């Protein structure tokens, strides 16, 4: 590899890596807040917090990486212009075509990785996350239940205490359950218990115990019962997706799915790597500036272009799913014109028009 290519590749790679690190740190905070919100609403068991955090980060990579690539390239190219290195390179014949080789050494692997995340890793992470949540709802152990500690039910609605518990969290010993609903409270104790799942409902079967039911506020309407076996329905966790949701299906399965939602999801997965390539080509032209000029105004232009492009991609997906845009058109109306415009902007950068000679009488 020529020295010039090594130098430019190092500049592009370092700036892109720095931009990606900053964006990942910022994005991690937002994803962590979303996961905590799902746990508070009972959608996700508390014991799955770290696993869900990692899977959600993988899910958002196709949206984060194109921005990091664009901003990193703008930082690198902007520094070359600010330090007058780019005018020197241009004066010795290093134009857009010569610059394309070191640029593609950074952009090519990034686009391929974004495509892998969008087409394979992202759908796998969403499906695996959903299966983990469903499995977690079948075990109070995953929901955070520990022997010898009072634990609130996922989603609220009551408290449970157990003195002993089996390794898989299904068998319980010496159980205390407190629930409240519609202005009444229910206190149940039992010598043993077992968690069962029927469809989307979770039930706690208790053996050999007592049950007291009465008003939360003033009143004497209490009932005391002794039972040999009693079954309590636990609060149902709120599920985010259906089993036939196209978001959970592998990409190859979407190819033969005739539903508009499946076609919309397929185009939504194909668009990020192509948009990342377009943003990378635009970054070189947008970063062009005179020496010693502030470069952050150009960065805002690039960020605005990214926001507009990604919002059009998300809205276009909804339009395809709702039938407002033909399925055959998909998101090509956005991706192909943007790619063509970015290529034209890149290869026309620095082109000098031929002089117009005028005949003097």
pLDDT of residue 87: 75
Closest CA to 79 of 313, 281, 289, 260: 289
- The reply to whether 103 and 192 lie within a common domain is no
pLDDT of residue 79: 84
- The reply to whether 192 and 72 lie within a common domain is no
- The reply to whether 39 and 110 lie within a common domain is yes
Quote the distance between the C-alpha of residue 67 and its chain's center: 14
Per-residue pLDDT of the chain (361 residues; tens, 9 = 90+): 678 888 889 999 999 999 999 999 988 888 888 888 877 666 777 777 888 889 999 999 999 999 999 999 998 888 888 877 777 877 777 777 788 888 999 999 999 999 999 999 999 998 888 888 777 666 555 455 667 778 776 555 678 888 887 776 667 888 888 888 777 888 888 888 887 766 656 677 888 889 888 888 777 778 888 888 888 776 555 554 556 778 888 888 888 888 888 889 999 999 999 999 999 999 988 887 766 666 667 788 889 999 999 999 999 999 998 888 888 888 999 999 999 999 998 888 655 444 455 555 4
Residue 329 in domain: yes
Residue 354 in domain: no
- The reply to whether 129 and 270 lie within a common domain is yes
Q: Quick one: three-class SS letters along 250-281? A: CHHHHHCCCCHHHHHHHHHHHHHHHHHHHHHH
Beta-bridge partner residues of 197: 202
Residue 359 in domain: no
pLDDT of residue 157: 65
pTM of the prediction?
A: 0.75
Residue 143 in domain: no
pLDDT of residue 134: 73
- The reply to whether 8 and 83 lie within a common domain is yes
| 68 vs 153: CA distance, rounded Å | 40
Domain boundary among 165, 198, 233: 233
Interior/surface letters 32-65, b for 16+ CB within 10 angstroms, e for the rest = eeebeebbeebbbbbbbbebbeebbbbbbbbbbb
- The reply to whether 185 and 334 lie within a common domain is no
pLDDT of residue 205: 84
- The reply to whether 186 and 169 lie within a common domain is yes
- The reply to whether 182 and 298 lie within a common domain is no
**What token pair was written down for 302?**
């690039």
pLDDT of residue 361: 46
Residues in the chain: 361
| 183 vs 213: CA distance, rounded Å | 11
Beta-bridge partner residues of 151: 160
- The reply to whether 129 and 45 lie within a common domain is yes
Q: What is the dihedral of CA 187, 188, 189, 193, to 10 degrees?
A: -140
**Residue 302 parent element (H or E):** helix 296-322
3-state DSSP helix/strand/coil % of the chain, to nearest 5: 55, 15, 25
- The reply to whether 68 and 118 lie within a common domain is yes
Residue 221 in domain: yes
Count of CB atoms situated within 10 Å of the CB of 306? 21
What range defines the domain where residue 81 resides?
3-136+242-347
Residue 228 in domain: yes
Domain boundary among 233, 268, 285: 233
**What token pair was written down for 139?**
């075990």
Domain boundary among 233, 260, 291: 233
């Amino acid at each position: 590899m020529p020295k010039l290519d090594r130098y430019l590749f190092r500049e592009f790679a370092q700036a892109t890596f720095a931009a990606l690190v900053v964006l990942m740190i910022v994005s991690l905070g937002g994803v962590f807040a979303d996961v905590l919100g799902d746990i508070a609403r009972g959608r996700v068991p508390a014991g799955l917090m770290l696993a869900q955090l990692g899977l959600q980060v993988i899910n958002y990579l196709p949206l984060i990486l194109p921005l990091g690539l664009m901003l990193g390239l703008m930082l690198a190219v902007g520094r070359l212009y600010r330090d007058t290195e780019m005018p020197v390179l241009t004066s010795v014949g290093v134009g857009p075509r010569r610059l394309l080789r070191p640029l593609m050494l950074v952009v090519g692997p990034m686009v391929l990785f974004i495509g892998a995340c969008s087409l394979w890793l992202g759908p796998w992470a969403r499906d695996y996350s959903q299966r983990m949540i469903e499995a977690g709802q079948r075990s109070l152990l995953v929901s955070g239940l520990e022997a010898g500690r009072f634990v609130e039910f996922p989603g609220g609605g009551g408290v449970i205490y157990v003195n002993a518990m089996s390794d898989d969290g299904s068998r319980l010993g010496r159980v205390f359950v407190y629930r409240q609903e519609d202005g009444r409270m229910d206190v149940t104790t039992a010598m043993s218990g077992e968690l069962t799942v029927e469809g989307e409902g979770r039930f706690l079967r208790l053996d050999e115990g007592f049950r007291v039911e009465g008003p939360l506020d003033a009143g004497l309407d209490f009932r005391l019962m002794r039972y040999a076996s009693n079954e309590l329905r636990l609060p149902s966790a709120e599920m985010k997706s259906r089993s036939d949701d196209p978001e959970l299906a592998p990409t190859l399965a979407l190819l033969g799915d005739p539903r508009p939602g499946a076609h919309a999801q397929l185009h939504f997965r194909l668009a990020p790597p192509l948009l990342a390539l377009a943003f990378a080509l635009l970054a070189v032209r947008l970063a062009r500036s005179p020496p010693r000029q502030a470069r952050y105004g150009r960065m805002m232009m690039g960020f605005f272009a990214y926001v507009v492009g990604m919002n059009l991609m998300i809205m276009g997906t909804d339009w395809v799913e709702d039938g407002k845009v033909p399925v055959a058109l998909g998101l090509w109306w956005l991706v192909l014109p943007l790619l063509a415009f970015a290529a034209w902007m890149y290869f026309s950068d620095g082109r000098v028009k031929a002089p117009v000679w005028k005949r003097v009488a």
